[in-house]
Amino acid sequence: MFYPISMFIRINKAIMRKILFVLLSVLCTKSVAQEIERVDSIDLETGIIYRANGEIELDSPQTDGHVDFTLPVAQIPLDECDSLTASSPIDRYGIVWKGGKCGIYDISKYVNVTRIEYKDLWFSFRKEIEGEYYSYFGWEEDDSKGVIGVAEINNQLVTIAMPKE
């Protein structure tokens, strides 16, 4: 059986592309651990960076297995809390109060998302990012304020804090 030369060239180009892609991906793979200096806060008006006690943190720690860097949140049953507030009956998250402090509570999963340790906490907004939903809460303490972002898919948190000054 005879094949036209153009078909032979197309097959060879496709095979060569695959081989080249595999070689480049193997040769270009490099692992680098970067050192990131921990920053306590940044003054947005002056641009002054406040360092976090001179500590250095690696962005890629070496481990032999799965390491969970999050501390467990104490699960306080809802009936032991003083109150639960939500913006509407269909909200996913509410604010639970106990002993004058508050925290975020996942109403659909019946779990505390944060510790009940905030002086003041309020729902701010909900946003969809790349098909996933995130709920944002504002919080305020005596000397600081900030934002807590909650990923609705797994209740993971991102907290941003800043001094009140």
Q: Is the pLDDT of residue 155 over 60?
A: yes
Select from 60, 76, 101 the last residue of a domain.
Answer: 60
Q: How confident is the model at residue 2 (pLDDT cuts 50, 70, 90)?
A: low
If asked whether residues 91 and 154 sit together in one domain, one would say yes
Tens-place pLDDT, residues 18-32: 766 665 565 544 444
If asked whether residues 83 and 103 sit together in one domain, one would say yes
Strand pairing category for 35-42 and 101-106? unpaired
- Whether the CB-CB separation of 103 and 115 falls below 8 Å is answered with yes
If asked whether residues 17 and 7 sit together in one domain, one would say yes
Query: Mean pLDDT for the chain?
Result: 75
If asked whether residues 78 and 156 sit together in one domain, one would say yes
If asked whether residues 156 and 81 sit together in one domain, one would say yes
If asked whether residues 55 and 72 sit together in one domain, one would say no
CA atoms within 13 A on the CB side of 56: 4
Domain count of the fold of the chain: 3
Average pLDDT over residues 125-148: 91
Task: Print the domain residue range for 124.
Answer: 68-163
Structure confidence at residue 56 (pLDDT): 44
Structure confidence at residue 49 (pLDDT): 62
Q: How confident is the model at residue 100 (pLDDT cuts 50, 70, 90)?
A: very high
If asked whether residues 47 and 90 sit together in one domain, one would say no
Q: Is 140 exposed, middle or buried (0-12, 13-18, 19+ CB in 10 A)?
A: middle
If asked whether residues 46 and 83 sit together in one domain, one would say no
Q: Is the pLDDT of residue 58 over 50?
A: no
If asked whether residues 121 and 159 sit together in one domain, one would say yes
Structure confidence at residue 101 (pLDDT): 93
Structure confidence at residue 116 (pLDDT): 92
If asked whether residues 90 and 145 sit together in one domain, one would say yes
Q: Is the pLDDT of residue 148 over 50?
A: yes
If asked whether residues 106 and 124 sit together in one domain, one would say yes
If asked whether residues 1 and 77 sit together in one domain, one would say no
